[in-house]
Structure 1
Amino acid sequence: MQSVAAAVTMVREDAFFLTAWLRHYGGLLGRENCYVVNHGRGDAVARLAEGCNVIGIPGEPHPNFDMKRWRLLNGLVQGLRSYYRQVIVGDVDELVVLDPERGGLLEFLAEQPLRRVLTPVGLEVIHRIDIETAPVGETILGARRHVRPAPHYSKPCVLSLGTKIARGGHFTQASKLFTPEGLYLFHLKFCDFDTYVATMDRRNRVTEEVGVGVREAAIGRHWFPEARGADRAVFEAFAALEMQDGFDLGWLRKRMQRSWKPRGDTGYWQFDRPELPLQYRLPERFNGLF
């Protein structure tokens, strides 16, 4: 039984993403080292996460959902640090991946110095509906081969240091930035058109149940109908992203380092997070990773 790394997430009903999360981290770390907060104590989540450490919590809608969620996740991460060298934390549609040419993720994490926060480069897996017509099957990568750089999802999410994580997981109070070569955070929100539509319908219903507007709620703006836009138009726009040659993200890591600075007087640290109208085709070595 390994004590190198644990993975922590919180989920409500998202069976598609939870299945991918469990396949990825359960396979790499062992299910006994996966911690799933079951928001609402859903039967489907409990069933899928069998063999993991499942923590059931009440699921009543609340306008400060994100604030409450990250208060809980912060506490879990800091507690688990006493038992693991590294703790990975994030949303259920976010997966930390090591480039296969650099070895296995668990072995990589075992070699990392302690008392650090690792920030993978964020990549959104995009469904190019104009050319990727096959549905996702047992695994996502392979059926989906395109990604766009997403600085907003370059999250400080691998921790071996006692520090506070901001709501949303985008910032911590760690003052040094570590962006290891070959370490990525894959965001799956846009990996499949049909799944996106179903997920957004469900999240829109949650915000309706909360009963307050986007300005009054501590919930991601993207959960609200007014921020959704036209679903098919969102996916059709991916074709216009400028295709890049190769798969070298070193330039993005350098940008992150150059723009590293305090986030005002909040105690948190940040780098610039511009929208980048670019896309890459993943090398075949990534196929089937999750």
Structure 2
Amino acid sequence: MQSVAAAITMVRDDPFFLRTWVRYYGDLLGRENCTVVNHGHGDEVRRIAEGCNIVGIPGDPHKNFDMKRWRLLGGLVQGLRSYYSHVIVGDVDELVVLDPEVGVSLVDWLAQQPIRRLLTPLGIEVIHRPALELEPVSGGILGPRRHVRLAPHYSKPCVISLGTKIARGGHYTQASKLFAPDPLYLFHLKFCDFETYVSTLNQRNAMTETVGGDAREVSIGRHWFAEARGEDREVFARFDDLEMQEGFDLAWVRKRMKRSWKARSDTGFWQFDRPDYRLQYVLPERFVGMF
């Protein structure tokens, strides 16, 4: 059993993304090194995550959802650090990916990295262009989907080998040094498939309705609420307007992250600027089939 890297997430009724998460990290790390927090003790989650470490917690609707979620995840991450050199933490629709150009697996690459630091992969978002990409994603996402957009909001300090506090959402930590390795990416999958997007938001809207209150009152991301949803087809149609870029050299984005690195007011957390880049790229062939 390898002790280089573990992965942990929390999920409730997201079977499409959980299957992808378990298949990806299970193959890379071994399912015995993957932990799934099963919010609501869901039977389907247990079936999909068989072989992983499953932590069941109550699923009763409650306020302060995201605060409690990240408090739990942060505590589990720090516990797992006693047994693994690196712990990868994030939402179930996020995957940390090493550029295949490096020529080694993510585990072998992490084994070569110093510990007692945080690694921040560059955030990119897989987007579905329905008029151009007709193939379903049931057999894998990268291949049927090749378009991505820059997503600085998802450049998260999520590969952890240092004791530090993680902010709600995983977007900030109290580590004062930024390490953003060139070959490391965080793929966000929320928009990877139109039909999956619709069904997932239907489910999340129903959940927030049972909790009651607005996003600020209950500390759940605003994007989970029906009033913030908009018209689904218009959301995906706007991807057509993103400016297409040649190649896939994103070193300039990491340079801007490093130049803008600073303390986040007096909160104790650190941040870089997260501008809205209206740009899209076609993933190189080497990424096809990774998940």
The reply to whether residue 2 of structure 1 matches residue 16 of structure 2 is no
Q: Supply the RMSD in Å over aligned alpha carbons.
A: 0.6
Question: 1:213 deviation in Å?
Answer: 1.4
Residues 165-184 of structure 1 show CA distances to partners (whole Å, capped at 9, x for unaligned) of 00000000000000001100
Residue type at the aligned position of 1:96: V
Shift of 1:214: 2.0
Deviations along 1:38-88, whole A, 9 cap, x unmatched? 000000000110000000000011120000000000000000000000000
Query: 1:215, 1:155 → 2: CA distance?
Result: 22
Partners of 2:25 and 2:216 lie apart in 1 by 35
Contact kept? 1:7, 1:25, Cα under 8 Å:
yes
* 1:11-33, Cα deviation, whole Å (9 max, x unpaired): 00100000000111000000000
Counterpart CA distance in 2 for 1:47 and 1:159 is 28
Residue 143 of structure 1 is matched in structure 2 by: 144
**Equivalent in the alignment of 2:101:** 101
Match of 1:34 in 2: 34
Contact 1:130–1:236 (CA under 8 A) maintained in structure 2:
no
Alignment partner, residue 15 of structure 1:
15
- Count of residues in Structure 1 that have an aligned counterpart in Structure 2: 290
Deviates more, 1:162-171 or 1:134-143: 134-143
Partner of 2:246: 245
Structure-to-structure mapping, 1:70-149, within 5 angstroms: 70-102=70-102, 103-149=104-150
Distance across 1 between alignment mates of 2:183 and 2:113: 13
Does structure 2 conserve the Cα–Cα contact (< 8 Å) formed by 1:130 and 1:239?
Answer: no
TM-score by length of 2: 0.99
Counterpart in 2 of 1:270? 271
| Separation of aligned partners in 2, 1:61 and 1:180 | 39
| Residue pairs, 1:269-288, within 5 angstroms | 269-288=270-289
Counterparts of 1:157-172 in structure 2, within 5 Å, are 157-172=158-173
Residues of 2 paired with 1:101 and 1:35: CA distance? 28
Report the Cα distance in structure 2 between the residues aligned to 1:108 and 1:228, rounded to whole angstroms: 39
Q: Deviations along 1:127-151, whole A, 9 cap, x unmatched? A: 0112001111321000000000100
- Determine if contact 1:95/1:185 at 8 Å carries over to the other structure: yes
Separation (CA, whole Å) in 2 of partners of 1:41 and 1:225:
25
* Identical pairs, percent: 73
CA distance in 2, matches of 1:182, 1:112: 13
SS in 2 for 1:168: helix
The aligned residue for residue 55 of structure 2 is: 55
Question: Do the aligned partners of 1:241 and 1:277 also contact (CA within 8 Å) in 2?
Answer: yes
User: Which AA in structure 2 matches 1:216?
Assistant: E
In 1, the alpha carbon distance for the partners of 2:139 and 2:51 equals 20
2:262 corresponds to 1:261: yes
TM-score by length of 1: 0.99
Runs of 4+ with >4 A deviation: none
Structure 1 residue runs without a partner (length 5+): none
- Taking the TM superposition and a 5 Å limit, the aligned residue runs for 1:181-192 are 181-192=182-193
Say if 1:127 and 1:144, in contact at 8 Å, map to a contact too. Answer: yes
Q: Is the 8 A contact 1:11 1:37 kept in 2?
A: yes
Report the Cα offset of residue 231 of structure 1. Answer: 0.3
Residues 202-233 of structure 1: per-residue CA shift (max 9 Å, x gap): 00001100011123120001001111111000
| Structure 2 letter corresponding to 1:159 | I
Structure 2 residue runs without a partner (length 5+): none
